[in-house]
């Protein structure tokens, strides 16, 4: 009998898999081969990731539990079971975060004369300076709140720093001491750098929490402080807007953004010396169970330590700077349109510069032959030069159409701001399709030439964001191929107009043909192997979750197809199961840059296909988003992508292999094997061969 591919034990829980990714990020903070301040940054990133995990993933599970949902996921876990497993693993991760901070990073930083000075270690001059700092900078803006019938428990902002204070004595009105809450304004720095005049070193720091602890009695004149303990609460930060019941998505989202700060509570972090009765008091106020309590030995918000990275001027403790490569054929002094009539250009960020994309857009805005510019924007960042060029094009009288996805999580406010700016400049701004996020990355330029109108396009796997283009790995294709240009034109018509699904020439697009197109190609590799040929599949994605695709990959592997999956984050497929996934290997690369590209490779009987896409292997990407996958048709560029995939499979320094048990093991070079890092190799190649982006 063939194995039952719906067995729950063949699937890894997606939330637990995401926690494992965060643990891999955290492990970078321990890596002695990583520069010290970069290790501190990885610790902060792991904290930020965990915050979002609770705000979205845990919050969603808690909602299911609250309404009594009993439907299990594909891995067989019901919401309550998943919640218990997540809590146990998350407590382990948090404990490891603070162990690394206190036992690894703080001593290592001290060895480099970067000190976090404890209250017990303040010199007289430091104490005098900090007292003045408290009185002049903190005291005027802090409003302590004593709790009594006239002063109920205050609303606590999501992820804000707060203190619960136990008091003794009587105040001016004869009220007996009790409990008070002190909220630290968000404008205050959480890490304070001591000036050299205090007699310390150049890089001496004090936590804001230490300063408030020391001088908290000044907030309660005549009272005695029995205890002061920091805490932070994390809230559900997912937004809900019923798009069927509103007239203007932008205005509806603006109304929802304010409520995000005060969503239902999902986690409480307190100082580890906080007494049980006070912790229980807070849990009761936030309507949380005991398993939602995280007691920590250090600042409750580790990601605020990221300020130290910028404050310390020590290039020897950071990654060496690099200059992204710019293809010689895309010299800003030459015309990008003329170049693209001769060749496609493939960019691999951050090894290749993002500036060619900006130059393409700039020339489109200024070229009198350009009639129209159309673009999708998901995340662009504030003060984006991309938006600047679109504004220039609109003011120059060109037809500018921008599909702004307002619901890009945690970037909603920035997207609302840029949408208003574009509209004021005269651009046509739409928000995509009701019920579907627009996640495709497309830029279309329509230019009048001697033989008529011609389409030039940029297609990408990542966002049009100049800063993340230096931090995330993504591919972008610049081309003037007629059929691709027609397909992108058709997709913009779908996004802005009404009509039936257009038949595409080259691209696969969600929610219509992307899932089925990839499934057909997996099946073709399976059938080829069953007929005695060689089947080969390589995916490089952020997440692999969608059950139908996992089953298809299992079937292909059982037929003999060799499958390599390079999955940065969540992977619900379980490799190494005898008779099911023996032929599947799963690895994750965690390094200097955040792996963000989506590449789909199929051997195709010796005529390989390589597809780049904005979509991961997730149900939401295939069925609830507008996504795009496009083939790389130029042989040389396609071979370059294949070579880079092989490099990813050869990495033995920053690669983690997924085991059958759902845990990851870091790869290391064998005794006679040379160490190889794919990210370092790509950086080196970009510096040595800047023309490789051309064909």
| Catalytic residue annotation | 439
**Beta partners for residue 446, in sequence order:** 372, 455
Q: What are phi and psi of 329, to 5 degrees?
A: -70, -15
Q: Which has the closest alpha carbon to 464: 387, 540, 406? A: 387
Grouping H, G, I as helix, E, B as strand and the rest as coil, residue 162 is strand
Q: Which residues partner with 539 through β-bridges?
A: 565, 600
Residues in the chain: 695
Three-state DSSP class for residue 439: coil
DSSP string, 191-229: EEEPPGGGTS-TEEEEEHHHHHHHHGGGGSTT-EEEEEE
Do residues 137 and 242 make contact, with C-beta atoms less than 8 angstroms apart?
no
Residue 653 and residue 667 in contact, taking contact as beta carbons nearer than 8 Å: yes
Residue 686, both tokens: 């970009």
d(CA 356, CA 327): 8
Q: How does DSSP classify residue 644? A: H
- C-alpha separations of 262 from 16, 195, 239, 270, 282 in Å: 26, 37, 11, 19, 16
Cis peptide bond upstream of 659, omega within 30: no
**Quick check: 628 and 507 in contact, CB under 8 A?**
yes
- CB neighbour list of residue 672: distance below 8 Å, 6 or more residues apart: none
Torsion of Cα atoms, 661 then 662 then 667 then 670, to 10°: 20
Whole-number CA gyration radius for the chain: 27
Q: Tell me, what DSSP letter sits at residue 132?
A: H
- Distance between CA atoms of 684 and 520, rounded to whole angstroms? 37
The Cα–Cα gap between 531 and 533 comes to 6
């Amino acid at each position: 009998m063939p194995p039952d591919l719906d067995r729950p034990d063949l699937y890894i829980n997606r939330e637990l898999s995401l926690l494992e990714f965060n643990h891999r990020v955290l492990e970078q903070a321990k890596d002695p081969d990583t520069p010290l301040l970069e290790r501190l940054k990885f610790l902060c990133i792991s904290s930020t990731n965990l915050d979002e995990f609770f705000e979205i993933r845990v919050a969603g599970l808690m909602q299911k539990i609250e309404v009594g949902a009993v439907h299990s996921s594909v891995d067989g876990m019901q919401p309550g079971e998943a919640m218990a497993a997540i809590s146990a693993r998350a407590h382990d991760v948090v404990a490891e975060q603070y162990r690394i901070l206190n036992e690894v990073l703080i001593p290592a930083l001290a060895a480099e004369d970067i000190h976090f000075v404890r209250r017990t270690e303040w010199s007289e001059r430091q104490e005098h300076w900090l007292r003045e700092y408290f009185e002049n900078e903190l005291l005027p803006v802090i409003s302590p709140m004593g709790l009594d019938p006239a002063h109920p428990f205050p609303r606590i902002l999501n992820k804000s720093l707060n203190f619960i204070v136990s008091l003794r004595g009587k105040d001016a009105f004869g009220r007996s001491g009790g409990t008070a809450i002190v909220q630290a304004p968000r404008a205050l720095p959480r890490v304070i750098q001591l000036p050299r005049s205090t007699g310390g070193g150049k890089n001496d720091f004090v936590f804001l929490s230490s300063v408030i602890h020391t001088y908290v009695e000044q907030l309660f004149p005549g009272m005695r402080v029995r205890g002061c303990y920091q805490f932070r609460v994390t809230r559900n930060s997912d937004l809900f807007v019923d798009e069927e019941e509103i007239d203007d998505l932008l205005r509806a989202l603006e109304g929802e953004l304010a409520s995000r700060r005060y969503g239902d509570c999902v986690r409480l972090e307190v100082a580890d010396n906080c007494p049980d009765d006070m912790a229980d008091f807070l849990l009761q106020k936030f309507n949380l169970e005991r398993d939602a309590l995280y007691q920590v030995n250090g600042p409750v918000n580790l990601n605020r330590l990221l300020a130290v990275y910028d404050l310390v001027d020590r290039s020897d403790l950071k990654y060496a700077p690099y200059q992204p490569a710019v293809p010689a054929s895309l010299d800003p002094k030459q015309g990008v349109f003329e170049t693209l009539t001769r060749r496609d250009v493939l960019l691999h960020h951050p090894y290749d510069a993002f500036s060619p994309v900006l130059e393409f857009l700039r020339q489109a805005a200024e070229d009198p032959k350009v009639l129209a510019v159309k673009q999708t924007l998901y995340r662009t960042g504030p003060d984006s030069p991309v938006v600047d060029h679109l504004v220039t094009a609109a003011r120059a009288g060109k037809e500018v159409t921008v599909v702004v996805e307002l619901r890009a999580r945690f970037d909603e406010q920035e997207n609302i701001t840029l949408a208003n700016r574009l509209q004021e400049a005269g651009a046509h701004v739409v928000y995509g399709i009701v019920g579907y996020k627009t996640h495709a990355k497309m830029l279309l330029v329509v230019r009048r030439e001697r033989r008529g109108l011609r389409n030039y396009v940029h297609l990408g796997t990542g966002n049009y964001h100049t800063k993340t283009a230096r931090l995330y790995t993504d591919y972008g294709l610049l081309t003037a191929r007629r059929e691709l240009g027609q397909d992108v034109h058709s997709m913009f018509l779908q996004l802005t107009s009404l009509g039936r699904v257009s038949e595409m020439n080259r691209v696969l697009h969600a929610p219509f043909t992307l899932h089925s197109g990839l499934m057909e190609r997996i099946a073709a590799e399976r059938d080829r192997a069953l007929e005695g040929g060689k089947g080969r599949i390589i995916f490089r994605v952020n997440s692999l979750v969608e059950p139908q695709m996992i089953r298809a990959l299992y079937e292909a592997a059982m037929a003999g197809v060799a499958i390599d999956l390079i999955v940065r984050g969540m992977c619900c497929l379980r490799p190494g199961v005898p008779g099911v996934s023996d032929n599947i290997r799963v690895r994750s690369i965690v390094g200097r840059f955040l792996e963000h590209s989506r590449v789909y490779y199929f051997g195709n009987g010796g005529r390989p296909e390589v597809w780049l896409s904005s979509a991961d292997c997730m149900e939401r990407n295939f069925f609830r988003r507008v996504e795009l996958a496009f083939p790389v048709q130029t042989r040389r560029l396609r071979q370059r992508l294949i070579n880079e995939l092989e490099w990813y499979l050869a990495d033995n320094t920053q690669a983690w292999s997924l085991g059958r048990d759902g845990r990851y093991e870091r790869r290391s070079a064998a005794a006679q094997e040379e160490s190889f890092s794919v990210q370092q190799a790509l950086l080196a190649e970009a510096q040595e061969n800047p023309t490789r982006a051309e064909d």
